[in-house]
Amino acid sequence: MKIDDWLLEILACPACKAPLRADSEAEELACTGCGLIYPVRDDIPVLLVDEARKP
């Protein structure tokens, strides 16, 4: 997964607006607030609440 650090700094969870942290092994972005986990497909974060899964 290739997400630039500057991009990760400005990405936020669409549900609660908390910062996201990258999980490179699972190719996912996890919300530090509500805990939703967003997939990353072809190095593109899919930040749709409907596509997120709960931990």
Domains of the chain: 3-49 (2.20.25.10)
pLDDT of residue 11: 94
pTM higher than 0.85, yes or no? yes
Report residue 2's pLDDT band, with 50, 70 and 90 as the boundaries.
confident
pLDDT digits (tens, 9 = 90+) for 24-53: 788 899 999 999 999 999 889 999 999 999
49 contacts 15 by C-beta, under 8 angstroms? yes
Per the DSSP assignment, residues forming a β-bridge with 8 are none
pLDDT of residue 55: 85
Residues of 12-31 as b/e, b for ≥16 C-beta within 10 angstroms? Answer: ebeeeeeebebeeeeebbbb
Maximum alpha-carbon separation in the chain: 26
